[in-house]
């Protein structure tokens, strides 16, 4: 059996056959980069496998692939996740079975690795039971994210799912309210009740929560701004929201 080709980053695999092996081993994969215009039977076989497993992928110029490795990547580079993903469909029943009041966090397309790491660290300190992220348009949970989280990414369940609307609808069906944090409403965050089962929803660094996700939220609240800027860094805003929940539940 051909061994996985590796460079200094042990979470990076390149070459068509090695990447196919990793997929078939059911490794948790953050993303696969594919060379634009790549052709051939092996490449088509790989692409079919990627689509069947719903693995995030992106077409990029060959120059970008060459920046990651000088080896024979054959137009394919794979990033293995530094964390093991879990399923929210398994996590929620376990929370209820343990007699706990669910406290979840959904991150809507947050793309900065350090922001995600800082958020996960705060979430672990606040006692969040699980964090849910979409499988696309989210930051890679790589070693930088693990480092920024001070290891919290290995301590709190991370659930990555393909269909955010379906997952959030399931969360609501479980009796958990969705609380979206957005500057587009009048209701203030500290005026709400967070002692009931809830899932905080935090949005992208630039545009906030996407309209389709915001429409699913039972409650929408804002953090008041007293200065000239309109919003906080998302990791800071998340920390404020998380510990308002902690304060009320104490």
Determine the CATH number of domain 12-80.
Answer: 3.30.1330.30
Angle between helices 16-24 and 41-52 (to 10 degrees): 30
Q: Taking a C-beta distance cutoff of 8 angstroms, is the pair 181, 241 a contact?
A: yes
User: Which residues of the chain fall short of a pLDDT of 50?
Assistant: 1-7
Can you say how many angstroms the Cα of residue 212 is from the centroid of all Cα atoms in its chain?
17
Strand partners for 33 = 58, 77
Q: Which of 169, 223, 182, 199 is nearest to 105 (CA)?
A: 199
Can you read off the two tokens belonging to residue 22? Answer: 């990793």
**Residue 100: how many other CB atoms lie within 10 Å:** 12
- Predicted confidence at residue 8, as pLDDT, reads 56
- Give the whole-angstrom CA distance, residue 46 versus residue 44: 5
3-state secondary structure of 78: strand
- Predicted confidence at residue 3, as pLDDT, reads 43
Can you read off the two tokens belonging to residue 47? Answer: 């692409």
Can you read off the two tokens belonging to residue 12? Answer: 């990076």
Strand partners for 204 = 208
- Give the whole-angstrom CA distance, residue 36 versus residue 210: 29
Q: Which of 128, 196, 134 is nearest to 165 (CA)?
A: 134
pLDDT, tens digit, 9 for 90 and up, residues 102-116: 999 999 999 898 999
- Predicted confidence at residue 1, as pLDDT, reads 38
- Give the whole-angstrom CA distance, residue 36 versus residue 137: 19
Listed as own residue / partner, the contacts of 162-166 with beta carbons closer than 8 Å and 24 or more positions apart are 162/54, 162/134, 162/135, 162/136, 164/106, 164/108, 164/134, 164/213, 165/212, 165/213, 165/216
Q: For residue 168, is it left (φ>0), alpha (ψ between -120 and 50) or beta?
A: alpha
- Predicted confidence at residue 9, as pLDDT, reads 65
pTM for the full predicted model: 0.81
Strands 12-14 and 76-80: antiparallel
3-state secondary structure of 178: strand
Which CATH architecture does the domain made up of 85-249 adopt?
3-Layer(aba) Sandwich (3.40)
Strands (E), the chain: 12-14, 29-35, 57-60, 76-80, 85-86, 103-107, 130-134, 158-161, 177-181, 198-202, 219-221
- Domain limits, the chain: 12-80, 85-249
- Give the whole-angstrom CA distance, residue 184 versus residue 201: 14
């Amino acid at each position: 059996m051909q061994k996985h080709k590796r460079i200094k980053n042990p979470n990076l695999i390149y070459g068509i056959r090695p990447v196919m092996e990793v997929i078939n081993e059911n490794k948790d994969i953050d993303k696969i980069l594919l060379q634009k215009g790549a052709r051939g039977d092996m490449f088509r076989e790989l692409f079919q496998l990627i689509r069947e497993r719903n693995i995030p992928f992106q077409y990029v110029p060959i120059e970008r692939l060459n920046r990651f490795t000088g080896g024979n990547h054959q137009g394919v580079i794979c990033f293995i996740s530094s964390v093991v993903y879990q399923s929210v469909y398994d996590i929620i029943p376990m929370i209820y079975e343990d007699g706990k009041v669910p406290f979840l966090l959904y991150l809507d397309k947050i793309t900065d690795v350090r922001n995600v790491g800082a958020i996960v660290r705060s979430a672990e300190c606040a006692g969040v039971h699980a964090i849910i992220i979409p499988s696309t348009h989210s930051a890679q949970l790589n070693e930088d994210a693990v480092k920024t989280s001070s290891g919290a990414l290995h301590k709190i369940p991370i659930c990555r799912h393909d269909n955010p609307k379906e997952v959030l609808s399931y969360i609501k069906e479980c009796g958990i309210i969705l609380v979206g944090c957005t500057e587009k409403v009048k209701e203030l965050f500290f005026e709400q009740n967070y002692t009931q089962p809830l899932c905080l929803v935090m949005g992208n660094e630039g545009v906030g929560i996407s309209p389709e996700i915001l429409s699913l939220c039972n409650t929408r609240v804002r953090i008041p701004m007293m200065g000239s800027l309109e919003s906080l860094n998302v990791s800071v805003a998340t920390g404020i929201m998380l510990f308002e929940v902690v304060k009320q539940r104490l």
